[in-house]
Amino acid sequence: MKSALKIELGRRYRFSASHRLHTSQLSEEENCRVFGKCNNPHGHGHNYVVEVRMSGDVDPATGMIANLADLDAFVERQVLEDFDHKSLNEDVPAFRDKVPTTENLCMEIFQRLKSFPKAKLERIRVEETGNNSFEYAGDNLEGNVRDQTNGRNSVA
């Protein structure tokens, strides 16, 4: 008989990347007004913290829902190799035509990790600064980005 015990695990990863918040859909003046100092033509960087939340059945043989080494390797391939020490605008194709806000970053990371074969991806949380963090739960009922910002306008 299969175990009905479900557990959720959280794992944190870190990467550094730069971005410029700017869109061709707005005038230069509007970009400056909406994005403020984040519209700097030379961009700016963050040390992001990404929390991945997975759930699944506990394997009776291993006592785990997923091997952390497998998860780490998957996150490295799917996210960290493409994002760490990169310009999100210039080096990540997903952001060539999309503003690389942390909200959009959350959704992109979720899309890249939802195919992990050994557990169900529940949500992604990305901390941009000590004051700004965002969560995305994908296709779940609570699948909207939840802005947990202190004092930052949320622009998606």
Q: Are strands 6-19 and 146-147 parallel, antiparallel or unpaired?
A: unpaired
Of the listed 19, 22, 38, 106, which one is catalytic?
Answer: 38
Looking at residue 96, its amino acid is R
User: How far apart, in whole angstroms, are the C-alpha atoms of residue 82 and residue 77?
Assistant: 8
Of the listed 44, 76, 85, 142, which one is catalytic?
Answer: 85
Q: Is 51 a catalytic residue?
A: no
Q: Is 32 a catalytic residue?
A: no
Run of H or E residues at 135:
strand 133-136
Which residues have a Cβ under 8 Å from the Cβ of 90 and sit 6 or more positions away?
96
Q: Is 38 a catalytic residue?
A: yes
Of the listed 103, 122, 128, 135, which one is catalytic?
Answer: 128
Q: Are strands 86-87 and 6-19 parallel, antiparallel or unpaired?
A: parallel
Active site residues per annotation: 38, 85, 128
